[in-house]
Amino acid sequence: MPFPYTRKRRLRASQAIRNLSQENHLTVDDLIWPVFVLDGFNRTEAIHSMPGVERMSVDVLLDKLTPLHDKGLNAIALFPVVEKQHKSDDAAEAWNPEGLVQRAVKTIKSALPELLVITDVALDPYTSHGQDGIINEQGDVLNDVTIKALVMQAKSHAKAGADVVAPSDMMDGRVGEIRAMLESNKHHNTAILAYSAKYASHFYGPFRDAVGSAANLGKSSKATYQMNPANALEAIDEIAMDIEEGADMVMVKPGLPYLDIIAMAKAQFNVPICAYHVSGEYAMLQSAIDNGFLAEQPTVMETLMCFKRAGCDAILTYYADRVTEWLNP
């Protein structure tokens, strides 16, 4: 029926009817908080390109996590800041059972056993050159050699008690090898969140500052393994392969500029779809907020709602701590 019988504004006339007719909701259950961990005790460091986000030693992180977990925050993703003396060409520190991530997982899981701890499976914090894999003399990232290292890394994370291992490296075939290793080591319930549609994006710049891999990477790019930002259909193949190999959940990354990929993935696949609202997206938003150009809470909440509308089940966002407080003050 045309106007005036149909007036779309009727369902916008009051807060109550807007609530009733709202299609999507954002709750604390949707959030995963990515955190940068430092070795040592009682340490925090500001990150120049991510104002408002800090690197923290595990004790400081635990002090922040305990009240957030009480308010419903379910999940964190750990990213280590690895000191220079632990970086090498073969990234061996990545699977050190007493490494920073492995110790952090043990400490956090014993203090907060119900909090889901997700670990990043990729070699970039540990390589002297900042690539996500092992390279040859020409600087090419070697797929199958890297997988062997990733499997050892994932095994050490699972042994330490990680609930979810999240390969973010984009090597072909790594999900299947990691799943096989987990099964043969009786880690049946360790889930895999695969960074399946991960693009070679310039929005990762601040993250590389935060973990200290930017200088090592220099002008090299990750374009031989991460996806071309111009491609959409290829993401379907990447996601399908990872699910086939045993991924329990898949990730699209970056987030906001790639909502079309999220929507497409949600329409085609039945596993949970996660998105990473990455460091560069955080930096853009927060810089405008800090300048007084945008209002923090409503703009951040709108941004995250847009992820839900696109079809996201969970969102990794550096705002997860603030949003938890806003949702459950």
Residues annotated as catalytic are 198, 253
Other Cβ atoms less than 10 A from the Cβ of 307: the count is: 27
HSE toward the beta carbon, residue 253, CA cutoff 13 A: 27
- Computed on alpha carbons and rounded to an integer, the radius of gyration of the chain in Å comes to 20
C-alpha span between 88 and 91 (Å, rounded): 5
Instruction: Name which position in 37, 61, 119, 132 contacts ligand PBG (CB under 6 A).
Output: 132
From the CB of 215, what's the least distance to ligand PBG, in Å? 13
C-alpha span between 318 and 76 (Å, rounded): 10
C-alpha span between 138 and 305 (Å, rounded): 44
Residue whose structure tokens are 């979810």: 164
Q: Cβ closer to ligand PBG: 33 or 276? A: 276
Q: Which two tokens stand for residue 2?
A: 């045309």
Q: Cβ closer to ligand PBG: 124 or 163? A: 124
CA torsion 244→247→253→256, rounded to 10°? Answer: 90
Amino acid code (one letter) for 265? A
Instruction: Name which position in 95, 204, 225, 307 contacts ligand PBG (CB under 6 A).
Output: 204
Instruction: Name which position in 61, 208, 238, 265 contacts ligand PBG (CB under 6 A).
Output: 208
Q: Which two tokens stand for residue 288?
A: 């405008």
From the CB of 91, what's the least distance to ligand PBG, in Å? 12
The DSSP code sequence of 155-193 is HHHHHHT-SEEEE-S--TTHHHHHHHHHHHTT-TT-EEE
Q: Cβ closer to ligand PBG: 122 or 265? A: 122
Q: Binding to ligand PBG by residue 33, rule CB under 6 A?
A: no
Q: What beta strand segments (E) does 23-62 contain?
A: 31-38, 44-46, 54-57
Phi and psi angles of residue 113, each rounded to the nearest 5 degrees, phi first: -60, -25
From the CB of 60, what's the least distance to ligand PBG, in Å? 20
C-alpha span between 266 and 84 (Å, rounded): 40
Q: Cβ closer to ligand PBG: 179 or 208? A: 208
Instruction: Name which position in 95, 207, 225, 258 contacts ligand PBG (CB under 6 A).
Output: 207
Residues 6+ positions from 326 with CB-CB distance below 8 Å: 297, 301
From the CB of 231, what's the least distance to ligand PBG, in Å? 17
Site residues for ligand PBG, window 93-122 (CB under 6 A)?
120, 122
Instruction: Name which position in 60, 100, 104, 124 contacts ligand PBG (CB under 6 A).
Output: 124
Task: Give the max Cα distance, the chain.
Answer: 72
From the CB of 14, what's the least distance to ligand PBG, in Å? 39
Q: Cβ closer to ligand PBG: 111 or 200? A: 200
Q: Binding to ligand PBG by residue 279, rule CB under 6 A?
A: yes
Q: Binding to ligand PBG by residue 278, rule CB under 6 A?
A: yes
Stretch that binds ligand PBG, among 35-43, 100-108, 144-152, 203-211 (CB under 6 A): 203-211
Q: Cβ closer to ligand PBG: 13 or 46? A: 46
Q: What angle do CA 220, 224, 229 make, to 5 degrees?
A: 95
Q: Binding to ligand PBG by residue 168, rule CB under 6 A?
A: yes
Site residues for ligand PBG, window 246-275 (CB under 6 A)?
none
Phi and psi angles of residue 133, each rounded to the nearest 5 degrees, phi first: -145, -175
Q: Cβ closer to ligand PBG: 100 or 122? A: 122
Residues that bind ligand PBG (CB under 6 A): 120, 122, 124, 132, 168, 204, 207-208, 222, 276, 278-279
